Amino acid sequence: MWSSTSFDNALTPNITGSQNSSYFTDGVTNGPLALSTDNPYLTSAERTTIKQALAANGLPTNQFYLNRLNQDLDTGYFRTTLQMYRFQGGLRGDFGMLGRHFNWTLRGEYSRYTNVTTEPALVVPNLVNALNAVETTDGTIQCAAGYENAPIATRSSICAPLNPFGYNQMTPAARDYVTAVERSTNRNSQRDLQAEIRSTIFRLPAGDIRWDLGYEHRREAYHFDPGTYLSGWKQTDGTVLQYGNDAVIPATGGAYHTHEGFGELDIPLVSPSMQVPGAYHLSLTANGRLTYNSITGPYWTYMVGASWWPMRDFGLSGNYAVSVRNPSVGELYSPRASTYESGVDPCSDVGVSSGPNPARRAANCAKAGLTQPFISNFNAYSLPGTAGGNVHLQNEHSKSYTGSLEFRPHLIRDFDLKTSFVDVRVANAITYLSASNLLDACYDSTNYPSNIFCSTFSRDSSGQISSFDSGYYNISSYETQALQTTIDYVLPLKRLGFSEESGTLNLQGNYVHYLKSQQSYLSSTYALAGSTASPKDNFTLNTTWQSGALTAQWQTMWYGPSQFMLQVPSIRYEHNKRPAFAQFNLSLGYAVTRNLSTSFVINNVTDALPRDAGIYNITRYYEALIGRSFQMRIGASF
């Protein structure tokens, strides 16, 4: 092997002989570039040096391989055009019959959402032609004769020689010859029809018993068109080759529909006018829905609840609900395609002592023949696998309990304070399992290696992860217990002696504390709350002032102490425990006319940054990580 630093740093400075694989042979479409040592873009000195190095290593001197970071060919930029339209309409009316008054409604909606993504994409067969450059008798450089273009349109069909040495050294003609336009389309559509009728049964001392009956029909559909480039190059034997670095993705799609009948009953038992001691207000409510889903079949959902206010200022309420969630069309039909993922290999030296049961994990890894310390490539960089939808998904089922205490003091007008305990348990949950999740599910299980997730990935002879099959599965269960407190107070400033034009102040706050939040699958339980992605404590307070067309809001966001990684030994990460963090945002809005408004937003006013910001969850802390930012918006409605 011979190393060179004479080329631009866009090249990896390792040039090897022909014992290495190339993506110009055997259908392989990634790897080093195979180049002739007589390439006319090499100087005479470079050509001599390369040939001498190859000969010194006992390798043929007619060809060498060059690793290159193709940032000037595969730029990574793309453009997505989004289009959404919705049609809605309905009728409503009333009539009298049998001494009762009935109200009815008919509603219909159709919506479609389409996004079209285009991006330049490398066509490898044309790149092979462009790299096979020769110098003619008149000193010009051109493509070697006898080339054949790939059967896909590129920006130019005329072969132009491409200079791979250095960043952006190729001509526009060469770039156009090796570049096609990749165009893919996603389309979601929904149709919804509803019919509903409402009336009363009879009147109790506290009021009318009200009922509501209805029917709903829904249809949801998804379609993905990969376009010519991602559809790949069809061969005579029925196989399909990819044109470049993007794997072949087949067209996919599907639809499901539902027929749903539902009803609701509200029963007032005590009203304030009845003046019952210890019961200012008392009511019961119940609703149910019978659904037939064309994919998952029939099922029931229902809810029962009660509300009791012992006195005017203080009330209690609660409900119990059984719910079902259908798999979405995206979870069912999204195309399965190549992906790249990295994470923490549970059998690696940094993962084997973690998890809900480190001893079990270590024992299963030992059964797999992985001796410690094992250094896993999966921890260091992304590895290839597949991901996408699952047409075999079934419904999620959940049970939830909610109990609330509410305080509305009549001496403080427009003030409401509510504290709730929420317990939600989800079974057969539809969960996207990444490569890391699949590995954990296998090695943390009690029935290794027999559980199904041990077959969703493979290792090579050295123990390294070589492939995985991530996606959606009905596998896990969730349990969440939380305390939530909300506050809402509206204060017209004229109550404090200011003028009518001084406006109104509104305080809206929300505090959540997770008592428990965990995910379980294959007899292993993983904590969810307490990480930087989901702190156990969250608080948001919006203070809004409005006067006429002008609105100003100050937002306070606070996240409690958290950990970078859960269920790892305390000595694993030096800065695993993260302190609490606060951020402030300011928004100013003005309604220019009834149909035209504008707003100015400052996110992260104080430019706060979490300590050791590099290990924080990007989604939750996005605005903090990018620093103070400004937005100007103009909105129009018609």
Amino acid at 452: I
| pLDDT value of residue 395 | 93
**pTM, full prediction:** 0.73
Q: Give the domain-ending residue among 296, 311, 330.
A: 330
- For residue 290, being part of any structural domain is answered with yes
- For residue 628, being part of any structural domain is answered with no
Contacts (Cβ under 8 Å, ≥6 apart) of 156: 173, 176, 177
- For residue 39, being part of any structural domain is answered with yes
| pLDDT value of residue 195 | 98
Most confident of 70-74, 396-400, 619-623: 396-400
Domain identity same for 46 and 86:
no
Q: Give the domain-ending residue among 330, 349, 366.
A: 330
Domain identity same for 293 and 172:
no
Q: Please check whether residue 395 is in contact with residue 296, taking contact to mean a CB–CB distance below 8 angstroms.
A: yes
Domain identity same for 193 and 173:
no
- Residue 28 host element (H or E): none
- Residue 442 host element (H or E): helix 435-443
| E-assigned strand segments in 226-313 | 233-234, 240-241, 252-270, 281-293, 297-311
- For residue 318, being part of any structural domain is answered with yes
Q: Give the domain-ending residue among 296, 330, 364.
A: 330
Amino acid at 463: G
Domain identity same for 99 and 133:
no
- For residue 14, being part of any structural domain is answered with yes
User: How far is Cα 540 from Cα 461, in angstroms, rounded to an integer?
Assistant: 52
Tens of pLDDT, residues 512-559: 999 999 988 767 788 889 888 889 999 999 999 999 999 999 999 999
Tens of pLDDT, residues 318-376: 999 999 999 988 898 888 877 888 889 999 998 998 888 899 999 999 999 999 999 99
| pLDDT value of residue 354 | 86
Q: Which residues constitute the domain of residue 200? A: 79-118+185-330
Residue in 556, 552, 533 with CA at minimum distance from that of residue 544: 552
* Better-scored residue on pLDDT, 519 or 246: 519
What percentage of the chain carries pLDDT values higher than 70?
A: 95
How many separate domains does the chain show?
2
Tens of pLDDT, residues 415-457: 999 999 999 999 999 988 899 989 998 999 888 988 888 999 9
Domain identity same for 158 and 294:
no
| pLDDT value of residue 590 | 94
Among the residue ranges 7-11, 39-43, 188-192, 581-585, the one predicted with the least confidence is 7-11
What percentage of the chain carries pLDDT values higher than 90?
A: 63
Among the residue ranges 29-43, 86-100, 395-409, 578-592, the one predicted with the least confidence is 29-43
CA distances to 69, 90, 224, 290 from 262, in Å:
59, 19, 33, 6
Q: Please check whether residue 471 is in contact with residue 434, taking contact to mean a CB–CB distance below 8 angstroms.
A: no
- Residue 523: count of CB within 10 angstroms of its CB: 13
- For residue 361, being part of any structural domain is answered with no
Tens of pLDDT, residues 56-106: 999 999 999 888 777 888 767 889 999 999 999 999 999 999 889 999 999
- For residue 444, being part of any structural domain is answered with no
Sequence length of the chain is: 638
Extract the tokens encoding 521: 């699958």
- For residue 281, being part of any structural domain is answered with yes
Domain identity same for 197 and 294:
yes
| pLDDT value of residue 2 | 32
Q: Please check whether residue 346 is in contact with residue 362, taking contact to mean a CB–CB distance below 8 angstroms.
A: no
Domain identity same for 128 and 57:
yes
Domain identity same for 27 and 141:
yes
Tens of pLDDT, residues 487-511: 999 999 999 988 888 999 999 999 9
| pLDDT value of residue 141 | 93
DSSP 3-state assignment of 40? Answer: coil
Domain identity same for 213 and 313:
yes
| pLDDT value of residue 45 | 93
DSSP 3-state assignment of 42? Answer: coil
| pLDDT value of residue 573 | 74
Domain identity same for 301 and 228:
yes
Domain identity same for 307 and 220:
yes
Tens of pLDDT, residues 143-152: 998 889 999 9
Domain identity same for 201 and 243:
yes
